[in-house]
A = this chain, B = another copy of it.
Amino acid sequence: MNHWKLTLSYDGTLFHGWQVQPELPTVQGSLALALKYVTGESVLPQGSGRTDSGVHALAQVTSFALETSIPPANLQRALNRALPPSIRILTAELVDESFHARHSARRKTYEYRIFERRTAASPSERICSPFLAPYAWDCRWQLAIEPMQEASKYLCGTHDFTSFAASDPERGLREEESDDANGKAHGPNPVKTLLQAGWAHEDGLLVYRVTGSGFLHHMVRNIVGTLADVGRGSLAVDEIPRILAARNRTAAGPTAPACGLFLHSVEYDPV
């Protein structure tokens, strides 16, 4: 068997998320179809983690094994021909069989992009271009970056992020979106470590970039929704420790829209 690691970028707008679902267009499903078309083999590529409906990826990572022998550049080209333009394979490489896109992941970075209709520089309402709308949260409030930056500092380090995890009444309190090694076997571990997080103004957008050892389901979108409450002045910066301590989803702010979220990159140990 040949073991593969692919990085891929996708526009999540028209996909029902990463994970394969019957009758619905998903990234994993499209990739499986393209692999079948190119190699004749039926494999389900594993992602570094799931992304939800409408969430994008700049560099998702996937792994799978094939019987077929094919040079990496050829597999990449053939898959890009078979896939829709909304999914592009950026790199394809042969890896050791111990490599697993989810289990081997060490750090993951997400990026969240906000378009502000009102800014300090232009207090009258700006209009979010139709060409930007699928890739940013068109936020009606003017957001003050400094308090959001301060509030974000409280989240860095190791915490129980239960307050920022999706609570799913049917399948338990929260669900692991991603890559925690103990994930599936022992139930999701709500304790995660954020290694780096911060806001920046970039190209007229307000961008949040956050790197962590792992993330719970909806965790980045719930963090951004809560920090936006801080930015618009409806939540005090020093409420963040209380929200963390509550270990209850209702303590935190709303979930920011999916379209602003990008899986930026996934890091692995060097081989």
> Is the CB–CB distance between B90 and A127 below 8 Å?
yes
Give chain A's interface residue range (CB within 8 Å of chain B): 20 to 34
| Interface residue? A77 (CB, 8 A) | yes
Q: Is the CB of A56 within 8 A of B88?
A: no
Interface with B: A45-53, A63-71, A79-87, A171-179, which one? A79-87
Residue A200 at the chain B interface, CB threshold 8 Å: no
Chain A residues numbered 1-46 whose CB sits less than 8 Å from any CB in chain B: 9-11
Interface residue A229 (Cβ < 8 Å from any Cβ of B): no
Let me know if B87 and A130 touch, CB within 8 A: yes
A133 / chain B contacts, CB cutoff of 8 Å: 11, 85-86, 88
Q: Please encode chain A, from 120 to 142, with 1 for each CB lying within 8 Å of some chain B CB and 0 for all others.
A: 00000101111101110010000
Specify the chain B residue showing the minimal Cβ separation from A130: B11
What is the distance, in angstroms, from A163's C-beta to the closest C-beta of chain B?
Answer: 30
A-B contact pairs, 29 of them (CB 8 A): A9-B129, A9-B130, A9-B131, A10-B130, A11-B130, A11-B131, A11-B133, A11-B134, A56-B130, A56-B131, A77-B125, A80-B127, A85-B128, A85-B130, A85-B133, A85-B134, A85-B138, A86-B130, A86-B133, A86-B134, A87-B130, A88-B127, A88-B128, A88-B129, A88-B130, A88-B133, A89-B127, A90-B127, A131-B135
Other contacts beyond A10-B130, A87-B130: 10, CB < 8 A: A9-B131, A11-B133, A56-B130, A85-B128, A85-B130, A85-B134, A86-B134, A88-B127, A88-B130, A131-B135
